[in-house]
């Protein structure tokens, strides 16, 4: 079966046609440079995505529960991301693990929130310092 | 009432404002930054996705990480940052400009300075700007507002989403809403091609099987107290085909229909606005029509990369420092947007040095030629493998292209895409 892909390595957006996905020996056409073939191989055989999300702050109150003043600071969510692109089929599981977290303040940017997520060797780090 | 004096005051503490202020500080000027939010960082703080910093830091960072690196530099500098402070008015009448501000801490605050840098960023176009008919139920948000609710405040604004407009913020929000458990039923784009970059089409739509309806207009929003759906009508050969219209049920509509520089303060201060960019018209030193008032970042023209914003803003800061030291350009050449070019910024260049220009294409094209002509003579021609309106282009013109202009009576540089 021929698979069709748009290459995202650069803005040219080459339309790639790939044969032989089932057998594992890919034949890529339509690419204007070698990066297109490499992209097609990874995207079809082992697609990866950088995951960004937010997790809960321990003890955060909803704005309407606060007493006057600013409702936006300190933030009620801490942003985080996977330190490297993550296997795509595992992304929903990783998101669930992030949503189950409750991070105690203070937190600093770069702090590891989940080490070796789902046994992939990839850490999830906080991307904002909140004190 | 508190009154303070500085060499320069920067309005806006986002990426542009921080970069401009750091440059002024490095040049030994006293600088204040005025920011209306609780902390510096601007829109970057809600852009928790990655893709920032490839040029500036040679790494892919999220928005808050990018902002924090600049915040740290600001904290280590002598810059006075006034957060939770809104500029109400810029008075440019006297030798010293006066910013009248409302501060959460000290009430009315007057900041006086010789130079002012405008770095207020841009804001989203909304439903009124695109005139979508229908009632006015709850559940209609701009994509950036929804982004703030989800990423900072921790609210999910609905469950069944339709995104109108295929700009990058809309695409990124389609992925975000999918990742937080919503169903995104469609992205609707009036143009026959997507406004966002291909990478986002693939990773934000294809990954989630979200249909992209190109050349479709949203012709109705249904619902009385809450959004119940939208009516979508195809456009064929420039005409609406009402008989082919269809409905998509949803409870939330996100609008990603463009950004406009936020120039109310600038207009009130008499700064001349370029209708092509909705930002100030600036000279070769990024100075507006009001002497001593400079502009940079998204308030000058909407950028697609924060890396370009900081690069441009650093230059604006350096030019403001030059101006404070009494340096003025000796001569200037006007820059004109030629064929297939929407605009070029800044609108003037100075011979005798390198000038960095930013421009936007009007067309999508492979194997294009970017050409600069000085009074009809080609002085520069470079190949571009791909151009499109959503990707800003840069061009550097230096002494080798510009110094012949001295002999011409009325020199003008015209930049075209062929």
Q: What is the mean pLDDT of chain B?
A: 94
- For chain A, the first-to-last Cα distance in angstroms comes to 54
| Spans of all domains in chain A | 3-45, 48-126
Using one digit for the tens of pLDDT, what is the confidence trace for B208-242? Answer: 999 999 999 999 999 999 999 999 999 999 999 99
pLDDT value of residue B176: 98
**Candidates A53, A56, A109; nearest CB to B179:** A53
**Candidates B153, B201, B385; nearest CB to A72:** B153
Which chain B residues contact residue A53 at CB under 8 A?
48, 179
For the entire predicted model, the pTM comes to 0.92
Using one digit for the tens of pLDDT, what is the confidence trace for B333-365? Answer: 999 999 999 999 999 999 989 999 999 999 988
Which chain A residues contact residue B64 at CB under 8 A?
79, 109, 127-128
Name residue, tokens 């605009």. Answer: B343
Which chain A residues contact residue B388 at CB under 8 A?
11
On the question of a common fold for B2-123+260-328 and B133-257, the answer reads yes
Here the tokens at position B128 are: 């009124």
Which chain A residues contact residue B386 at CB under 8 A?
10-13
- Residue B27, classed as helix, strand or coil, is coil
Class of domain B133-257: alpha beta
Share of chain B above pLDDT 90, in %: 84
Domain B2-123+260-328 has CATH 3.30.420.10: no
pLDDT value of residue B287: 98
pLDDT value of residue A69: 43
Lowest pLDDT segment from B103-117, B161-175, B379-393 = B379-393
Which chain A residues contact residue B154 at CB under 8 A?
54, 56, 60, 76-77
Which chain B residues contact residue A77 at CB under 8 A?
151-154
> How many CB atoms within 10 Å of residue B415?
23
Residue A55 exposed, middle or buried by CB count within 10 Å (0-12, 13-18, 19+): buried
Rounded to a whole number of angstroms, the distance from the CA of B184 to the nearest CA of chain A is 16
Give the residue on B whose Cα is nearest the Cα of A110: B65
**Residue B325 touches partner A, C-beta closer than 8 Å:** no
DSSP B36: S
pLDDT value of residue A67: 47
Q: Which residue has the higher pLDDT, A68 or B33?
A: B33
**Candidates B38, B64, B201; nearest CB to A127:** B64
Which chain B residues contact residue A129 at CB under 8 A?
68
pLDDT value of residue A81: 97
Is the CB of A54 less than 8 angstroms away from the CB of B179? no
pLDDT value of residue A66: 47
Is the CB of B39 less than 8 angstroms away from the CB of A49? no
Is the CB of B154 less than 8 angstroms away from the CB of A76? yes
pLDDT value of residue A63: 59
Here the tokens at position B312 are: 């441009």
Q: Looking at the domain B334-417, which fold is it?
A: Immunoglobulin-like (2.60.40)
Average pLDDT over residues B66-80: 97
Rounded to a whole number of angstroms, the distance from the CA of A43 to the nearest CA of chain B is 11
**Residue B345 touches partner A, C-beta closer than 8 Å:** no
Rounded to a whole number of angstroms, the distance from the CA of A109 to the nearest CA of chain B is 7
**Candidates A6, A71, A129; nearest CB to B68:** A129
Long-range contacts of B147-151 (CB under 8 A, 24+ apart): B147/B46, B147/B47, B147/B172, B147/B173, B147/B176, B148/B46, B150/A54, B150/B176, B150/B177, B150/B180, B151/A54, B151/A77, B151/A79, B151/B46, B151/B47, B151/B48, B151/B176
Instruction: Give the confidence band of B366 by pLDDT, cuts at 50, 70, 90.
Output: confident
Which chain B residues contact residue A70 at CB under 8 A?
38, 84
Mean pLDDT by 10 residues, chain A (131 residues): 84 83 82 90 91 91 53 77 95 97 94 97 96 84
| Spans of all domains in chain B | 2-123+260-328, 133-257, 334-417
Superfamily classification of domain A48-126 = CPE0013-like (3.10.530.10)
Give the residue on B whose Cα is nearest the Cα of A92: B179
Using one digit for the tens of pLDDT, what is the confidence trace for B169-208? Answer: 999 999 999 999 999 999 999 999 888 888 899 899 999 9
Is the CB of A8 less than 8 angstroms away from the CB of B202? yes
**Residue B147 touches partner A, C-beta closer than 8 Å:** no
pLDDT value of residue A70: 47
pLDDT value of residue B144: 96
pLDDT value of residue B199: 85
Residues 70-89 of B with CB under 8 A from A: 84
| Euclidean distance between CA atoms B199 and A6, whole angstroms | 9
Using one digit for the tens of pLDDT, what is the confidence trace for B304-324? Answer: 889 999 999 999 999 999 999
């Amino acid at each position: 079966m021929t698979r069709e892909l748009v290459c995202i390595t650069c803005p040219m957006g080459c339309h790639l046609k790939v044969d032989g996905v089932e057998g594992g020996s890919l034949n890529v056409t339509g690419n204007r440079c070698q990066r297109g073939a490499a992209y097609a191989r990874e995207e079809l055989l082992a697609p990866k995505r950088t995951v960004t999300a937010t997790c809960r702050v321990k003890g955060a109150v909803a704005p309407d529960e606060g007493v006057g003043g600013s409702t936006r600071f300190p933030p009620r969510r801490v942003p985080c991301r996977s330190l490297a692109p993550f296997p795509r089929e595992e992304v929903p599981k990783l998101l669930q693990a992030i949503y189950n977290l409750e991070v105690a303040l203070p937190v600093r940017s770069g702090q590891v929130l989940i080490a070796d997520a789902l046994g992939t060797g990839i850490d999830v780090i906080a991307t904002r310092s909140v004190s | 009432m508190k009154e303070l004096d500085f060499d320069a005051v920067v309005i806006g503490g986002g990426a542009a404002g921080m970069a401009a202020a750091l440059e002024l500080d490095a040049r030994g000027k006293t600088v204040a930054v005025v920011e209306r939010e609780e902390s510096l960082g601007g829109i970057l703080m809600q852009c928790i996705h990655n893709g920032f910093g490839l040029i500036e830091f040679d790494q892919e960072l999220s928005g808050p990480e990018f902002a924090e690196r600049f915040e740290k530099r600001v904290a280590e500098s002598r810059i006075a940052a006034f957060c939770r402070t809104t500029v109400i008015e810029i008075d440019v009448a006297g030798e010293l400009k006066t910013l009248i501000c409302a501060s959460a801490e000290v009430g009315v605050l007057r900041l006086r300075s010789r130079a002012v840098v405008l770095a207020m960023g841009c804001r989203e176009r909304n439903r009124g700007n695109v005139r979508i008919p229908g009632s006015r139920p709850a559940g209609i948000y701009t994509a950036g507002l929804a982004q703030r609710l989800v990423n900072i405040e921790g609210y999910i604004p609905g469950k069944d989403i339709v995104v109108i407009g295929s700009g990058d913020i809309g695409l990124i929000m389609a992925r975000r809403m999918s990742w937080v458990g919503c169903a995104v039923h469609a992205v609707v784009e009036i143009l026959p091609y997507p406004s966002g970059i291909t990478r986002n089409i693939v990773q934000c739509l294809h990954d989630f099987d979200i249909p992209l309806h190109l050349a479709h207009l949203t012709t109705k929003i249904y619902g009385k107290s809450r959004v119940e759906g939208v009516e979508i009508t195809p456009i064929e050969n420039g005409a609406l085909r009402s008989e082919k219209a269809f409905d998509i049920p949803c409870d939330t509509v996100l609008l990603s229909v463009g950004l406009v520089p936020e120039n109310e303060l600038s207009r009130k201060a008499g700064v001349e606005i370029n209708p092509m960019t909705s930002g100030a018209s600036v000279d070769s030193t990024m100075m507006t029509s009001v002497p001593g008032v400079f502009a940079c970042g998204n308030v000058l023209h909407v950028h697609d990369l924060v890396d370009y914003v900081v690069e441009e803003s650093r230059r604006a800061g350096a030019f403001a420092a030059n101006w404070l030291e009494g340096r003025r350009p000796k001569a200037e050449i006007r820059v004109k947007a030629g064929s297939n070019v929407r605009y070029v910024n800044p609108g003037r260049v100075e011979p005798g040095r390198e000038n960095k220009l930013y421009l936007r294409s009007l067309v999508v094209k492979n194997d294009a030629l970017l050409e600069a002509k000085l009074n009809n003579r080609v002085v520069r021609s470079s190949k571009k493998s791909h151009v499109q309106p959503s990707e800003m282009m840069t061009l550097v013109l230096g002494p080798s292209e510009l110094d012949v202009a001295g002999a011409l009576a009325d020199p003008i540089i015209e930049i075209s895409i062929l």
